[in-house]
Amino acid sequence: MKVLAIAVNTFKEAVRNRILYVLLFFAVLVLLGAWVASTLSIFGKEKIIRDLGVAAINVIAVLIAVFVGVGQIYNDLDKKTIYTIVSKPISRWQFLLGKYLGLMLTIAVNVLIMTFFFLAVLYFRHFISDEVISQAMGVAMGEAAGGGSILLYYIVSFLKSVFMAIGTILSLGLYNTDATVGIMGASLLTILELCVITAFAILFSSFSSPTLSAFLTLTAFIIGRANRDIYYFGELLVSRARGFENLEAGQVMAFYLSRAAAFLTPNLDRFNKRDLVAEMQAIPFDPLAVLYGLGYAAVVLMVAMVIFNRRNFK
């Protein structure tokens, strides 16, 4: 209950943060921009919209995690409110966990808002496509709407898009049309990825300033995205030397370092299935990816708890 109370409080605090709204506004702008950008293309318009949309949701969510997340603990320390909390019968780990969960709740809600908006854009775009409109206008203008106008058709399409987007979100992506398949799956994977990144944000903010924390969290994000390349760097050394036994001493060290770095840093590639979204494919549920994400986030949080526990607030 204590953890939950802190989480709810963190969530309330986060939604009052102006950065959040700026980022959300920017996200909406980008999602609409995807539609505009696609008109520059002479082929693959659908793909471009979907690519840009899911990437925008992912990028904005990462920025929210970094810029909202890193200030959470620092603010309590800066405003001395931490003293009123730690003086209560509440463990430091509970405080940290509460902060993390509150932050994750904020991020998840934001990702879902962006996803909802993107789904609504895709549904609406589908409804007003030439083929669908030409099929439907006969009904909308003639029978159902009693000779209504095209404006009425647009309003009906807009409302339908909103309801269908809600349906897709509530069904966790099980309800879809061809226009939106895979989008919800990509968003859920983004939330999973953010579990790891937010854990890093909490870890770094447990011992450093917000600026440094933001820098370190972004670095962790970049390393996580390049994880596979770090692993392949070692492989490349071996293949260039035509066998492990031909490696020089320095290269052997580089090989083991790359291996160690690859296994110790998070592999965020596991949560990147955005290419499937572009191909209009559903994203299959991967329980191992879920376990990996949650497990890795738990490890980072545990380290954060140890550091935070040993920290002197004076």
Q: Which of residues 257-276 bind other proteins (CB under 8 A)?
A: 268-269, 272, 274-275
Two tokens, residue 111 = 């990702």
Site for other proteins in 30-89 (CB under 8 A): 37, 40-44, 47-48, 51-52, 55, 58-59
Angle in degrees, 0-180, between the axes of helices 18-38 and 45-69, rounded to the nearest 10: 170
**What would the x/- binding string for other proteins be over residues 168 to 207, using CB under 8 A?**
----------------------------------------
Question: What minimum distance in Å lies between the beta carbon of 285 and other proteins?
Answer: 20
Contact 297/194 with Cβ under 8 angstroms?
A: no
Taking the least distance from each CB to other proteins, the nearer of 187 and 206 is: 187
Name the residue nearer to other proteins (CB basis): 38 or 157: 38
Q: Identify residue 134 by its one-letter amino acid code.
A: S
Least CB distance to other proteins at residue 56 (A)? 9
Q: Give whichever of 39 and 81 is closer to other proteins, judged by the CB atom.
A: 39
Nearer to other proteins, 207 or 233 (CB): 233
- Of 10-18, 64-72, 167-175, 225-233, the segment contacting other proteins by CB under 8 A is 225-233
Closest separation between CB of residue 268 and other proteins, Å?
A: 7
With respect to other proteins, which residue has the nearer C-beta, 42 or 249? 42
In the window 118-147, what residues touch other proteins (CB under 8 A)?
Answer: none
What six digits make up the tokens of 30? 């980008």
Our CB check for other proteins shows the closer of 29 and 222 to be 222
Nearer to other proteins, 140 or 197 (CB): 197
Cα separation, 196 vs 193, in Å, equals: 6
Instruction: Work out how close the CB of 218 gets to other proteins at its nearest, in angstroms, rounded to a whole number.
Output: 11
Give yes or no for a contact between 290 and 273, defined as CB atoms under 8 angstroms apart.
no
Query: 4-32 as b/e, with b when 16 or more CB fall inside 10 Å?
Result: eebbeebbebbeebeebeebbeebbebbe
* CA 157/CA 185 separation, integer angstroms: 24
d(CA 228, CA 271): 13
DSSP 3-state of 10: helix
Q: Rule CB under 8 A: which of 275-314 touch other proteins?
A: 275, 278-279
DSSP string, 166-234: HHHHHTTTSS--TTTTTHHHHHHHHHHHHHHHHHHHHHHHTTS-HHHHHHHHHHHHHHHHTHHHHHHHH
Tell me which residues touch other proteins (CB under 8 A): 37, 40-44, 47-48, 51-52, 55, 58-59, 222, 225-226, 229, 268-269, 272, 274-275, 278-279
